[in-house]
Every structure is written in structure tokens, then in C-alpha cells.
Chains A and B, each alone.
Chain A
């Protein structure tokens, strides 16, 4: 079979099968989120009933709130930290930069469960030491300080830490494309380093910053495993709420909330991809000139 010819029946069938395997479950989930009845297998007619239920459910809405809050905060902080980290890497000598970039990439390919467990262990160990210290202070000096435990703060720290590498990775190529002399030129024209950074570097790497921000936000909204290990008993993200719901009984409410989550992440991914495609096109245009 030569490559130029129209695909044969077999290859078309194969492609169709691949897509069915990939998307049928999600498709099913979306369809049954609009089911009027209580079942996940029998169709009772179209209804938005479960979506209505969803917004009444305080547990789910609490999860949505936590997820949005932690994602927004983590994205904002990780974007700032990641931008400066990227500039730090960029200014390093190659012999330092290369190994550090690899270290930067390890958290991304590391299994979430390992990241989650290790963060959890770290927090627990650190807090145990601190709480022991507080107890000792109370007993010896009658001084007290708040005891620490897993909760929103640790969840936020975990999200920030796994988001930073994505931001760095999104910004690095933009920095590499930038003319090395731009910062010098801005300083030459009267800017301090900080002024040069805001007036010249940021506009140059802005597309990278925005991409990094979107990726970080998506990763945060999407995350379950790391959140599960670092959120503690009282805080729950949306993904954690859904997980705990499936333990009791699978209602179409879960379908509805999953559909919304899927839709949100899909939208973000589309935005990221369209942006990247546009930037590549623009870059190619400049190169051709």
C-alpha cells in the first residue's frame, strides 16, 4: 500500500476503533449527565436535572470553590516564581543551566503518586517537629504558638511546587529567541535592570508567560493524586469530592460535575494549543522575511 493512496477499509476501521476506545467512555459520561432518570445505563429522557442538583450540593460547590481558589493562587504565584526562575536559568552558564533544567523537568515526569506521598511525608515530618517544639515551649516556658497540620496551605504549596516547572518550560524558549542584547540596549538607554525587565523582557516573553499560566492552571484544576495526599482531612478539591462520592453511590450528579470539569479543561487546552499554533505561525513568518 503506498502512502499517497486513499486509506483502505482496514485502516479506517482501525482509526475509528481507536477513537471509540478513547472517547466512548467520556461520551457516555456526558450523555448520561443529561439523563432524566437515576440510572447510568437506561435512558429516561433529556433533562438538566442533575446540573440543577449539582449547584445545590454544598459539598460539590465547596470542592469547586477550593479547586478554583487553589488553582488561581497557585497559578499566580507559580507564574511569578517560574518567570524569575526561567530568567535565572537563562542567565546561567551552560554548564550549570543544562543539569538544572533536567532537575526542573524531573517533577513533571515523576509519578504523581510519588510526588504526592513525598510531599505528604515532608509536611508531616516538618509539622511533627514543629508541633513537638511548641509542646516543649508550652511545658517549659508557658509560651505557645499555633500547631500546624495538613490543610489548604499545604495544598497550595504542593500546587505551586508542581506548577513551577511547567511555567519555566513554557518561558525558556521565548527567552532563547530573544536577542541577548535587548536587556543591554534597554540599560544603555537609561533603564535599571528592573525597568529593562518590565519594559523589554516581559513584553518579549509575554506569550510564554501566558502559555505557562494556562498550562499551570489546567494542571492545578486537573490534579487529584497530589491534592489527595496534601490537602489533609478537612480540605477537599473538586476531584477529591468526586472521588469520595463514587465510594458511596454513583449518581448522574457525578456525571454532570465530571462533564463540567472535562469541558473546562478541554477549553483551556484548546486555548493553549491555538495560541501556540498562532505563535509558531507568526515566528515562521518573521523567519521567512
Chain B
């Protein structure tokens, strides 16, 4: 049974009149890799900053190991942060950056049973211990030999590693990572994903990871928290999130989805385009309007006369592993991924297995996503998952 480490209970955050977090409830287990995933402005960075102690929720409570820590300042929390753009100290070299946290004299308090402070004494680590721990960390992040280098002379990936080492050297129980790979190029990003996962396993601590990159989230996390508009949309394992999205937003944000209007005729039977399809979902009212998700890879292309639905191919893009084709069914455009080429203009039929159909309750997001009529723009948006500076509703959202 995993142990609960952090709990956010009814956390709301508002700057002036703008609600950035809306009644968030979330618990995070010990040694878990949890990802806060969502588009910019969804409140994921604010959530992280609340856990880090940089912001106090307007209302609601934060618990750490069962103790309420709302007003505990950052320097007294057993968490450390890897900041967006790293925030390394430019006037210090690699070694001193990593040693920074170890050199800060800590005040050790002795308390009696009543919690009253009996004595305070400053604790300083010896140079020998500092050296040992810094060297250990350099080993962990593969930066042996870089001790004397200026941080400004390092590459993005190396700076990233210094930032991780600087946070981990303090032996935090939780490491917070705020879009740590955002500024790196794609190849390096993939390497660092593996690296981070390895470090998390080796150090046996909790990682709370903020990203807007769904692939990153799926690849690394034990638990994914999908957020939008300051609300949690869904919490689950990467598989749950991908296979059983709760609403149209999650289905659209995670991977590619065709989202259609359907009507639940009975358990296991859904009607799309006036045709009935077998599915595995149940528990809906009879004749309840629903959102139907069909992933592009779950569609089989068959000759026109054998298909459950018939349509015309309007666009083909070669993707290397597969073709992405856009098919027009009665005016609604679907994205289908297939290894067989069907040329533009050809008529095709499709079949969908019951386990390829996922039914969702109607939500505020119904009708907003999942139509590939505006295919090209949509694609640009996805490939543009690159770095966006200035994240979320941070305190001075009026800065820019």
C-alpha cells in the first residue's frame, strides 16, 4: 500500500479577480512520479508553486506527511525545485551551484513535547562532507570533471543536469520539476526523459513534474493529472488517461482523437451517424447523448461495400511509420492512421472493433474538439509543442 505524502485539499488560487486554481483536490504518494499536464494557463505551475511554498493558496489546505504546511516558507520545506530555464546562479561555478544548498547554515530546533522551542543551534556541514556530497551528485548526473566550469559556458542539457544536481544534493523527499525539458531540443529531450526516470528510481524519491507535452507525460509518469482552466480534468495512470479519457478535452489533449456525437441506445450499443456500433461501455441512461472517442489507430480500412461507414479520402500525409489520412464521412472529417495507402479521392469503408470505441459523458468540452476539418492548423499546433516562456497565471500575469 503506497503511503500518501502530499495532499492538496480544496485549494483555490485567485489573483485579483482571476481564478487560476479552482478547488483542487489531489494527493501524491511517496516515491511516485506524478505529472501535472495541461496547456499553458491551466494552473499546473501554480499548483507546483503552492507545493514548493512560493505561493499560498487563497483558500484550502496543503498537507505534507499529514502536517498542514500552508504558511511554511520554501526554505523550511523538504522539497526542492528544478526551475524553468534552470535559474542557476550565474556568479557561481558548477561546483558552487550544487553546493549552494549545503552551505546555507540551517537552524536546528529542539522542541519539547508541547512543541515549544527549547533551543536553536546553527548547523553547518564540514567542507569534507559538502565535497563528498557534491561529487556524489556530479556522478549521478554524469558531470564529473565539470566542477570548475562557469554555468554560463554549459550547454542547455548540461545546465539542466546542474539544476537537477543542485536540487537533489539536499536530499529532498520530493523533487518539483517545472517544464525542465522545455528549452532542450527534441533528441536531448528524449535522452533526458530516460535520465530523469533513472534518477528518480535510483534516488527513490517523489517527482512532481509539470509539462504541456503529453508524450513526455505518458512516457515518464506513474500518475498523470490532466488540468485545464484551473481544474483537474482527470487523474490516472498513463494507460487510463489514454484509453479511458473522461471528457473531450482529455481525449483531444492526449494523443489524436476523433470525437463524435453519439446516442447510447443500450448497454454496449452506441449509435453514430444513425448506425449502431457495438462497444464495451455501459452504465449510461437509455438514449443518453454521449461523446464517442475513436482513436485514429483503432480504425480498420476495408473495401467500401464491407464497411460499417463509407467515406471519401480527402487528404494523405506520409508519416514514416504510417499514413495519416483524412476521411470525410457525411461531412465529418476523421483522422485515420493506416499502413496501407488509400489515394486522395478514393471511396473506402471502415470497421471499428468494440474495444476501439470509448464512450464519454457530455461535458462543457463537447463539440469543441475531435473534428479534423481544420486538419493542417491542428497539426501545426501539435508540432509546436516547443517551449513557451512565461507559464501560467503567475503572480504578475500583467507583466507581458
Contact = CB atoms under 8 A, between A and B. Distances in A.
B81 A188 contact: yes
Interface residues of B, number: 29
A154 to B, nearest CB: 39
B399 A189 contact: no
Given A179-B85, A204-B91, A184 B104 contact: no
A95 B75 contact: no
B104 A181 contact: no
Interface of A: 93-95, 179, 181-182, 184-192, 195, 199-200, 203-204, 286, 289
A182 B73 CA distance: 16
A1 to B, nearest CB: 46
A190 B398 contact: no
Contact of B81 (A93, A185, A203): A185
Interface string B54-93: 1000000000000000000111000111011101111100
A200 B151 CA distance: 14
Given A93-B398, A187-B73, A181 B84 contact: yes
B104 A195 contact: yes
Given A184-B81, A289-B152, A190 B87 contact: no
B170 interface: yes
Contacts of A190: 75, 101, 104, 106, 170
Contacts of B88: 185
Contacts of A192: 73, 75
B91 A188 contact: no
Contact of B399 (A94, A188, A200): A94
B87 A179 contact: yes
10 residue pairs, one from A and one from B, having the closest CB atoms: A189-B101, A181-B87, A190-B104, A185-B87, A203-B91, A181-B83, A187-B74, A188-B81, A190-B75, A188-B74
Contacts of B53: 187
B104 A182 contact: no
Q: Which among A94, A181, A200 has the highest number of chain B CB atoms within 10 Å?
A: A181
Contacts of A181: 83-85, 87
A284 B100 CA distance: 27
Nearest to B79: A188
19 contacts: A93-B396, A94-B396, A94-B398, A179-B85, A181-B83, A181-B87, A184-B52, A184-B74, A185-B81, A186-B89, A187-B53, A187-B74, A188-B75, A188-B81, A189-B166, A190-B101, A191-B75, A192-B75, A286-B152
Given A95-B398, A187-B73, 13 more contacts: A94-B399, A181-B84, A184-B81, A186-B89, A187-B53, A188-B54, A189-B100, A189-B167, A191-B75, A199-B104, A200-B89, A286-B152, A289-B153
Contacts of B166: 189
Contacts of B75: 187-192
B54 A185 contact: no
Contacts of A289: 152-153
Contacts of B80: 188-189
A279 to B, nearest CB: 13
A179 B89 CA distance: 9
A186 B100 contact: yes
Interface string B2-22: 000000000000000000000
A179 B84 CA distance: 10
Contacts of A200: 89
Nearest to A183: B87
A182 B89 contact: yes
A195 B396 CA distance: 24
Contacts of A204: 90-91
Contacts of B106: 190
B172 to A, nearest CB: 9
Contacts of A187: 53-54, 73-75
B199 to A, nearest CB: 18
B104 A189 contact: yes
B170 A184 contact: no
Nearest to B15: A93
B90 A189 contact: no
Contacts of B91: 203-204
Given A94-B398, A184-B54, A184-B74, A191 B85 contact: no
B202 to A, nearest CB: 21
A195 to B, nearest CB: 6
A185 B152 contact: no
Nearest to B398: A94
Contacts of B170: 189-190
A199 to B, nearest CB: 8
Contacts of A184: 52, 54, 74, 81, 83, 87
Contacts of A286: 152
A94 B395 CA distance: 11
Contacts of B85: 179, 181
A278 B205 CA distance: 45
Interface in B370-400: 396, 398-399
A5 B166 CA distance: 57
Contacts of B90: 204
A229 B276 CA distance: 95
Nearest to B54: A184
Contacts of A191: 75, 104
A213 to B, nearest CB: 19
Q: Which among B74, B79, B166 has the highest number of chain A CB atoms within 10 Å?
A: B74
Contacts of B153: 289
